[in-house]
Amino acid sequence: MKNTVLSTIFCALLAACSPNVTPVDMEYNVSVETIEDTCGNDPAPDGLTIPFNVALQTDNKINVWYPAGYAPGRGDYKGFIIYDGQTDFESKRPSKTGPGDDVVRISGSLTMDFMDITIEERRWRQEETEPVPCIRKARLRGAARPFSTLTALDGKYEAYYDFYELVCPPGQPQENDPVPWTVPLDIKDQNGSALFAFDSYDENLMFAMPTETLASGNIDWDGAIYLIGRTSGIFYEFEGNVAGKFVDGSYYLRIKFHEIGDTTGCDFVLDANGAKRMPDPTSISNTYRLAFLESDACRHDAFGDITLTKTEQEGEIVFHTDGRLTLMHSNERFNLKAQTDGSYTGSWSAGGVTLKYKLTAAPPNLSFSFMYAWPTDEGYCDIATEVAGVPRYFPGLALTTPKRTSENLQMARYSSNATEKLNFKSLGLAAKIKNRARLHPLSEAPQFVREAILAR
């Protein structure tokens, strides 16, 4: 009996002394307070708020991203571990400007509700003819984004829109056949501005208006509207008008825009509507953490085996009222039509390439596989990808990297009679306007546009 009691006390003491891994998966709006800067950077403006994204990985480590420039460091780090709500992470890399390493240390508290960390960067700056060591140190603190507060503007929204292409007077948009589309809408309320981003994970339609413009619920704003290509790193800039309403977490917007200096009175017109998407692990429509396993039989390793690649990233699913699903990740977009049995399976062929897909959504878990058969001189080779997913912002939901299945290993050849194209890589707007607008290089973009291109 005595030994049992002593063992219990000893184990209790061990548990008390052992740190517990704290999984965190959240986005924050944080203020930046400069503590020290001998590197010659411009200090962050007083009251500046920036986004800070903490993304949980399958190994319970986290990756973080924040816009570099206003805060120390390069803004993109991987492999954090949070113990009991605290982190102390150090990153080293060989310096490009001086001897030794550039070192960044990130320490402080990170929970699902609030973060308060210090970032200290020790690097080299060039002074006259030789490099000298310098320090840049700042405190970042702020609350989690209010995804669960219906009345808060900041958050994630569904966006169903009709794009009417070019409408010239005296014509009305309704006289044209619209191009319907569905994308997530992310609204960030920071620094007195409401930043709207209709994001297809490749093309991104963006504008930033003063938050006070939305105070009454009625909107009528004139300003710059941007269409951004994430993968291309280029953007279009337009003059435009946004008019509509925000009521109890729902909105309707008519967005009209034209090339800067165009006096014809013609506009591209986009009607968008939707509601704030509240975090709900039982819903199919969500922002997801996704784990990928790609089996590439078109490439082999040094031992002649199929190349396997594991990755993790963020994605989105939008569930339509007619039963269709739109899945977006990286710079790919799949529009999936439900079969009569409720499953999402099918195939598509074009140019000799065949795609077979299968999606199973059993909230909170998502399973998706897509398999390409590529023609080669010897016949075909297969690239099969298995995807597992769970909703973001619920760190208690376990995510594991999927395994190769027998279906992947023995992939059949697919018929080429499917007529529905499944893989769309963009909103489709650039293709409609490219001959009527001027492209701009990324170097000319305002800060929030550059951040959007670099964020993923």
Longest dimension (CA), the chain: 93
pLDDT of the residue at 244: 96
Q: In this structure, which amino acid lies at residue 203?
A: E
Residues 159 and 258 in one domain: yes
Residues 315 and 247 in one domain: no
Say whether pLDDT at 410 is over 50: no
- The Cα 258–Cα 185 span in angstroms is 21
**DSSP state, 253?**
E
Residues 298 and 375 in one domain: yes
Residues 49 and 167 in one domain: no
Does 291 fall in a domain? yes
Q: Tell me how many domains the chain contains.
A: 3
Provide the CATH number for the domain around residue 409: 2.40.160
Residues 348 and 319 in one domain: yes
Residues 111 and 186 in one domain: no
Residues 417 and 290 in one domain: yes
Does 245 fall in a domain? yes
Residues 237 and 296 in one domain: no
Residues 125 and 167 in one domain: no
Does 5 fall in a domain? no
Q: What is the pLDDT of residues 260-310, one digit of tens each?
A: 888 899 999 999 999 999 999 999 999 999 999 998 888 887 887 888 899
Q: Which domain holds residue 135?
A: 18-143
Residue 41 contacts residue 136 (beta carbons within 8 Å): yes
Does 139 fall in a domain? yes
- The Cα 295–Cα 356 span in angstroms is 14
Say whether pLDDT at 427 is over 60: no
Residue 370 contacts residue 359 (beta carbons within 8 Å): no
Residues 36 and 159 in one domain: no
Residues 308 and 275 in one domain: no
Q: How far is CA 362 from CA 142, 284, 394, in A?
A: 34, 8, 16
Nearest residue to 315 (alpha-carbon basis) of 281, 282, 289? 289
Segments of 40-178 assigned E as strands: 49-56, 62-65, 76-80, 86-94, 101-110, 114-127, 130-143, 155-167
Q: Judging by beta carbons within 10 Å of its beta carbon (0-12, 13-18, 19+), is residue 361 exposed, middle or buried?
A: buried
Out of 86, 118, 143, a domain closes at 143
pTM score of the predicted model: 0.86
Say whether pLDDT at 117 is over 70: yes
- The Cα 373–Cα 213 span in angstroms is 51
The label of the residue with tokens 């996704």 reads 290
Q: What value does the mean pLDDT take over residues 157-171?
A: 88
Does 150 fall in a domain? no
pLDDT class for 423, splitting at 50, 70, 90?
Answer: very low
Q: What is the rounded (10 degree) CA torsion for 225, 230, 232, 233?
A: 70
Query: What distance lies between CA 456 and its chain's CA centroid?
Result: 6
Residues 415 and 290 in one domain: yes
Q: What is the pLDDT of residues 88-113, one digit of tens each?
A: 999 999 998 888 899 999 999 999 99
Does 333 fall in a domain? yes
Q: What value does the mean pLDDT of the chain take?
A: 84
Does 96 fall in a domain? yes
Out of 108, 143, 178, a domain closes at 143
Residue 40 contacts residue 125 (beta carbons within 8 Å): yes
10 against 403, higher pLDDT: 403
Nearest residue to 452 (alpha-carbon basis) of 67, 14, 39? 67
pLDDT of the residue at 209: 95
Residue 183 contacts residue 315 (beta carbons within 8 Å): no
Does 7 fall in a domain? no
